[in-house]
Amino acid sequence: MAVEVAATRRRFTRAEYYRMAEAGILGEDDRVELIRGEIVEMSPIGRRHRAFVGNLNQLLVVRLAGRAIVWVQNPVALTDDTEPQPDLAVLRRRPVPYKEREAWAEDVLLLIEVADSSLAYDRSTKLRLYAEAGIPEYWVVDCVAETVEVHRDPGPEGYRDVSRVAGTATLALQAFPDVELTTAEIFA
Amino acid sequence: MASYEIRTRRFSRAEYDRLIELGVFQPGEPIELIGGELMVAEPQGAPHYTAIMKTAKALEAAFGPGWEVRPQGPIGLDDDSEPEPDVAVVPGGPDDYATAHPARPVLTVEVSESSLAVDRKHKGSLYARAGLADYWVLNLVDRVLEVYREPVRDAAAPFGWRYARAEVLDASARVAPLAAPGASIPVSRLLP
């Protein structure tokens, strides 16, 4: 009997991915992230996406000053074959500086993806990856609907605590309950 | 909701050759560059490998001197493809390809078991786009030889081209390569 399989793409490890970068095969112009061994091109960033990333960055940097580190569109290592580049990452301060060792899942307090065309991907593939890696809190910011989906309590099946924030509302960070952001500020 | 398709990073043939030079791939790792994508080739069973060796021997006899029969060798097909067809026949001898892979085999053969759909549709379209005149799929599932010829444009094909003529020959038939029209090879001599 014929077993007709689809041809499979070669998958890469993080180590191979970095060798490609060192050799100049993946360059500064490549907007890519490593997702389960596949080098995935990231969706183009539109005007609203840029603006909301900027707003979130400014709000978080100011309100978390001295308490946590805020990264914008930097890679976070999750496993040997997965290294996404979320729009924003709130990282814990740690004894080993980030210049000495990359940010791993255990350093992450909150990840945020700002989504326009990539909404379905951010809600499915990315969400499962983040939950599996034990990222404690994940926000999906919908540029079009101007809503925020807050995912907490990760497990192998996804996040068990999901809420959707729409309209005029206030969000607090799980890691810092006293740090609040309003939807009006995020979507200004 | 706007649709969004995941697109993986494509590689050029120059980048692929550089990756090989850097030793990113294990020696003998079964990969091919197909239209910018690095594909993992099907694992080889005993019938598959036997068919390759039988086909290579039959083609060596049919073509004679002045031709090189290359089992599973790389072909520098185009800017984003470097496939390794199961058997390829190229003009000249081994020294002619010491500095660059051959680009245009006069005959290209894929031995197919689990990869039948890919070999017919994807590779067929890729080889047609490159203008390869004679493409054979040795179909081990149905024990027939599929002979594809006359590349034509077809926007619906994976790489924009396909073969206009397809002929299916069973084990009792004989076949002559386009580039060796005087030869007459029994299909049974190719099958494992």
**Residues B11-59 pLDDT 10s:** 999 999 998 888 888 777 889 999 999 998 767 889 999 999 999 999 9
Check CB contact under 8 Å for B9 and A9.
no
A175: confidence class by pLDDT, cuts 50, 70, 90: very high
Average pLDDT of span A72-89: 96
Inform me whether the pLDDT recorded for B5 exceeds 80: no
pLDDT(A183) > 90: yes
Q: Do B18 and A25 touch (CB under 8 A)?
A: yes
pLDDT band at B2 (very low <50, low <70, confident <90, very high): very low
Q: Has residue A2 got a pLDDT over 80? A: no
**Inter-chain touch B15–A39, beta carbons under 8 Å:** no
Q: Which residue has the higher pLDDT, A65 or B2?
A: A65
Instruction: Give bridge partners of residue B70 from the DSSP assignment.
Output: B88
Instruction: Report DSSP state, residue B92.
Output: S
Split at pLDDT 50, 70, 90, the class of B3 is: very low
The CA distance from B108 to the nearest CA of chain A, in Å, is: 19
Q: pLDDT tens, B141-159?
A: 999 999 999 999 999 999 9
Please say if the pLDDT value at position B97 is more than 70. yes
Q: Write down the CATH superfamily of domain B43-189.
A: tt1808, chain A (3.90.1570.10)
Between CA A65 and CA A70 the distance in angstroms is 9
What confidence tier does B169 reach under pLDDT thresholds 50, 70, 90?
A: very high
Mean pLDDT of chain B: 93
CATH 3.90.1570.10 fits A43-186, yes or no: yes
Q: Which two tokens stand for residue A183?
A: 């939807």
Mutate to test the interface with B, among A10, A34, A121 (most CBs of B within 10 A): A10
Is residue A32 within 8 angstroms of chain B, CB to CB? Answer: yes
Q: Encoding tokens for residue B57?
A: 């021997």
Residues of B engaging A, defined by a Cβ cutoff of 8 Å? 1-4, 6-9, 11, 15, 18-19, 22, 24, 31, 34, 37-40, 42, 113-118, 122, 141
> Closest Cα partner for A143 from A31, A53, A71, A32?
A53
Tell me the ipTM for this assembly.
0.78
pLDDT at A1: 30
Nearest-angstrom CA–CA distance, A73 and A91: 13
